[in-house]
Amino acid sequence: SQKIEQNSEALNIQEGKTATLTCNYTNYSPAYLQWYRQDPGRGPVFLLLIRENEKEKRKERLKVTFDTTLKQSLFHITASQPADSATYLCALMNYGGSQGNLIFGKGTKLSVKP
Amino acid sequence: DGGITQSPKYLFRKEGQNVTLSCEQNLNHDAMYWYRQDPGQGLRLIYYSQIVNDFQKGDIAEGYSVSREKKESFPLTVTSAQKNPTAFYLCASAFRRQGAGNQPQHFGDGTRLSIL
């Protein structure tokens, strides 16, 4: 069956360290993968998109990698800050997916302690 | 400011009642989506629309209905047939570029629906 899994429900790290979140998928052939941030009681906010032919994408302190052989994307936040505390969602669009609909993981709740 | 607005923020439904959640966007997006989010679950797609006067069922459409009479608006009705309506409902919109379909989605801030 098709699955998209974010390995940790919660991740606690110390301020200044690098947070690494994982998104694994099975039985999908994603054309691209997206990462979103969601704060409590708010809608998700788009962060980064990476295509299947891209190995890595960066935006300020954020870095995303995409390994189609391992069927995995890693999301890194360097020099993490308490303000980075939120739930992070990965989402993919499958090749042949109807009308470009995204399939979302359940999210990883990141807590950055001062 | 361009954005996507959902209202109300909180909504309560009585037994046997239909309720309608509003979603309006001024981003000139073609596509609009409704998701349901439950604790510990990912976002699940209820309905989506790529163009005015057309919409498609998502993964969990039973007990819900939508309309798309205007590009800017995509209201969701939670009918009495939806036996477990308590959830956080999110509306999103996106551009639909020919041959691409890889546009990020912009989300509203949700409506939390509870049963009285």
Average pLDDT on A44-58 reads 93
| Interface-testing mutation among B50, B57, B60, B105, with chain A (most A C-beta atoms within 10 A) | B105
Instruction: Give the per-residue pLDDT at B111.
Output: 98
| Interface-testing mutation among A28, A46, A94, with chain B (most B C-beta atoms within 10 A) | A46
Q: How far is CA A3 from CA A14, A89, A94, B48, in A?
A: 31, 14, 12, 21
**DSSP string covering chain A:** --EEEES-SEEEEETTSPEEEEEEEES--EEEEEEEEE-TTS--EEEEEEETT-SEEEETTEEEEEETTTTEEEEEESS--GGG-EEEEEEEEETT-GGG--EE---EEEEEE-
* Residues B56-108: tens digit of each pLDDT: 999 899 999 999 999 999 999 999 999 899 999 999 999 876 544 478 899 99
Structure-token pair, residue B39:
């604790």
Instruction: Give the per-residue pLDDT at A27.
Output: 83
* Residues B10-63: tens digit of each pLDDT: 999 888 899 999 999 999 999 999 999 998 888 999 999 989 999 999 989 999
* Cα three-residue angle A91-B106-A4, rounded to 5 degrees: 10
pLDDT band (50, 70, 90) for residue A101: confident
Q: Is the pLDDT of residue B2 over 80?
A: no
Instruction: Give the per-residue pLDDT at B100.
Output: 47
**Are A89 and B42 inside 8 Å of each other by CB?**
yes
Average pLDDT on A12-20 reads 97
- Measure the CA–CA gap between B1 and B73, rounded to whole angstroms: 17
Q: Cβ contacts (< 8 Å) between A49 and chain B: which residues?
A: 102, 104
Instruction: Give the per-residue pLDDT at A96.
Output: 54
CB atoms within 10 A of CB A65: 18
What residues contact A26, with CB distance under 8 A and at least 6 apart?
Answer: A1, A2, A3, A5, A71
Instruction: Give the per-residue pLDDT at B40.
Output: 81
Instruction: Check: CB of residue B112 under 8 Å from CB of residue B91.
Output: no
CB atoms within 10 A of CB A8: 14
Instruction: Give the per-residue pLDDT at A99.
Output: 53
Q: Is the pLDDT of residue A34 over 70?
A: yes
Average pLDDT on B1-13 reads 91
More confidently predicted of A54 and A112? A112
Instruction: Check: CB of residue A77 under 8 Å from CB of residue A84.
Output: yes
**Are A100 and B96 inside 8 Å of each other by CB?**
yes
